[in-house]
Structure 1
Amino acid sequence: MTIRSQRRNLWAGLIAWIVLMGSPASHAAEKLIWLMRDLPPLTVFEGPQKGRGVIDQLMPFLIANLPRYEHEVVKVNRARALQMLEGTTLACDPALVWNPARARSIVYSTPIMGLHSNGLVIRRSDQALLAPFVSDQTVELKNMLNAQAIRLGIVAKRSYGVWIDEQLAQGETDAVFIHYGNDALGSLLQMQQAGRIGAILGYWPEIQSKARQQGLSPENLVFYRIHGAPTYQPIYIGCTATPAGREAMISINHALRKIDPQALFDSQTQWQAPDQHDDYLNARPVPLQPLLPR
C-alpha cells in the first residue's frame, strides 16, 4: 500500500468517525429530571398506597412516550423543586399548580386533571374556634387571618391556588406559620396535635394520608372548603423555561394527548369515598380538561 493510499484511508476513517460522533445515536440521551414529593392523591411515598397516586401511575406512561430522554426521578420538597425549575438544568414537575408568579419562570403543559381545591383542616375538638368564620360550610380565610384567632400552618413556597394565595397575601401575616422542612405537612400535623397551630391548608386526601403516616386519626380532623375558591384545582406539568424545557414540553403535551381518559379517571376513583356525605370525595367525575388559566 502506498503512502498516498494510506493517507486516503486515514482521512476516510477520520471523516467516518466525525460523522458518527455527530449523529444523534452517538450522543448520550439528554437527562430530564422529574421533581417529585409526597402529595397524595397525586404522588404517594409512604403507607399502603405507596406508588398508587394518580401521577405515580401516569409516570411510566410519560417516560415511555419520551424515549429521547434519560429520565431521573428526584424527591425534593416544594421549595427545592421551584428553585430547580427556575434554573437552567432540564427539570419538570408533574404535579404543579399554576399561578402568575410561577408562569414568569416556568413553562406549563396543558392541564392533566382537576382536583378538588385545597381547603382548611382543623381538629374536631377546635371547631368552636372556627365557627365565627364559617359560612355555608366554607371558611372566610382572610377574615380568620385578620382576626388572629387561629394560627394557620402552610408549606413554604407552595401554591394553594390563585384565590387562596391571594387571601393569604391579603390576610394578617402574623397569623401564618410557614414550614420549610422536607416533611412540612407531617410536621404541621404534629404541631397542630400539640396545639402550636390551629389549622392547616391542603388537599383533604393529602392530609388524611399524611395524618395516618404520622400515627394520627383522620377521624379527629374536619375539612372545610375556602369561601370563594373554585371547586376544582387544575394540575399541570411544569418545566424549566429554557429552550430545552420548551422543547421537552412539546413532547410532553403530545404524550398527554394520548392518555386514555378512562384510565386516568380510574386511578382517581381509588381516592374517592362514595359513603362520604361531603361531596369532596363523592364518586362524581373530576374534570380532566379544566380551562387553561387566562
Structure 2
Amino acid sequence: MKIKVFIMLAIISTSLPSEELRWYINDFPPYSVLSGDRIGEGVVQKLISYLKTLKPEFNITPVMANVSRITEEFQKGHNILYGTYRQTPERAVYTLYTVPYLIYQSAGILVNKNFVHRWSKYLVGKSFDLKKAFTDREFRFNVIKDVTLGSWIDDPVANAPPELLQYVNLSSDSQNAERLMGLQMGRITAIPGYEESLRMNIKSLGLPLDEFQFYPVLGSPAYQKMSLAVTKNDWGRKLVEKLNPLLINLRPAVAKDYESWISKESIERYRLEKF
C-alpha cells in the first residue's frame, strides 16, 4: 500500500507545474494584442503558448502592467519576465537577457500627410531628422513616459526643449486615440513608435491609413533584436539557461508570427535579415 501511495505521489509531482513564471505583458500590439479581431494573437502571446507546449512544467502566469510598474518589479528583485524590454545600460543593473528571439523593425516617426508643409523640412532623403526638428520652436512631439525606443529617438527627446514635448503616462487605447487624433488635427507634428503598432492603432480608430506616413529616423538601424528580460539574480540566471535553447529553436515560428503583422511591402526585406 505504501509503495502504491509513493508511486501515485511521484506521478502527481511530475505532472504538476514545478516553476511559476510571472510574465508581464501590456497593451502593446503586435506583441500583446488585448482587443480587436486578433485578440490573443500577439507575437509575445504566441511565444508564451509555444513555451507552455514545449515546457509544461513552466507555469506561466501573464500579468498586466505598464512599463513603470514592470521596472519597479525588476528593481525590487521580484522574479518576473517581460518580453519587450529594450536593453539599456540603466536596465542592465537589474535585468538579465536571454538570447534574441525576434528580429523586428526599428521605431520611427509617424506624421500626417495633410500637414506636409510642417514636417517635410525635416526629411533627409527618406529619413526623418529628429535632431533638426527639435531646433524648430513650432515642432510638437508626443512621447510615452518611461518607454525607450532607441537612442536615435531617446537621446534627441532627452535633450529637446521641454516646451516642444507632450507626454502621456502609459500606452492605453484612450491615450493612443488622443495622440493620433492630435496628429490628425494638427495639434501634434509627429509621434514616435513602431510602424506595425501605429498601423494597428490607426485601424482600430477607423482612421484612414493612407492619411499617415511613417519614416525611419535619420541614422537608425533598419532592424533590432528582441530578447526576454528576466530579474538579475540566481533565479534569473538559471532561467536564462533553460530558455535560451528553446528560444533559438522557436525563432522561425516567432518570425512567421511577426510577419503576419507587418506590411506586405516590408516582408521581403524582412526575410533577408539573419540572427
| TM-score, length-scaled by structure 2 | 0.85
Inter-partner Cα distance in structure 2 for 1:72 and 1:47: 22
Match of 2:213 in 1: 222
SS at match of 2:268: coil
In the alignment, which residue of structure 2 is the partner of 1:46?
Answer: 35
Partner of 1:169: 158
Q: Percent identity?
A: 23
The farther-off stretch of 280-289 and 51-60 is: 280-289
Matches of 1:187 and 1:111, distance apart in 2 = 33
**Considering only CA atoms, is the larger Rg found in Structure 1 or Structure 2?**
1
- 1:273 paired with 2:263, answer yes
**Deviation, structure 1 residue 259:** 1.6
Please report how far the alpha carbon of residue 134 of structure 1 lies from its aligned counterpart in structure 2 after TM superposition: 0.6
| Count of residue pairs the alignment pairs up | 267
Query: Superposition pairs for residues 79-90 of structure 1, below 5 Å?
Result: 79-90=68-79
- Equivalent in the alignment of 2:268: 283
Q: Residue in 1 aligned with 2:62?
A: 73
How much has 1:288 moved relative to structure 2?
6.5
Unpaired segments of 5 or more residues in structure 1? 1-12, 275-279
Out of 91, 94, 112, the residue aligned to residue 83 of structure 2 is: 94
CA distance in structure 2 between the aligned counterparts of 1:272 and 1:70, rounded to whole angstroms? 31
* Equivalent-residue separation in structure 2 for 1:288 and 1:222 (angstroms): 24
Instruction: Give the direction of change, closer, same or farther, for the CA distance of 1:29–1:102 in structure 2 (3 Å limit).
Output: same
Question: What amino acid is aligned across from residue 103 of structure 1 in structure 2?
Answer: A
Where 1:257 maps in the other structure, the secondary structure is helix
Q: Which amino acid aligns with 1:211?
A: I
Cα RMSD over matched residues?
Answer: 2.8
Name the CA shift for 1:132/1:245 in 2 (closer, same or farther; >3 Å): same
d(CA) in 1 for partners of 2:255, 2:107: 20
Residue 190 (structure 2) aligned to one of 179, 183, 199: 199
Q: Out of 91, 106, 123, which is 1:117 matched to?
A: 106
- Cα-to-partner distance string for 1:152-192 (whole Å, 9 max, x where unaligned): 11111111113322222233333122210350433322333
Tell me: CA distance 1:233–1:148, structure 2 relative to 1, closer, same or farther (3 Å): farther
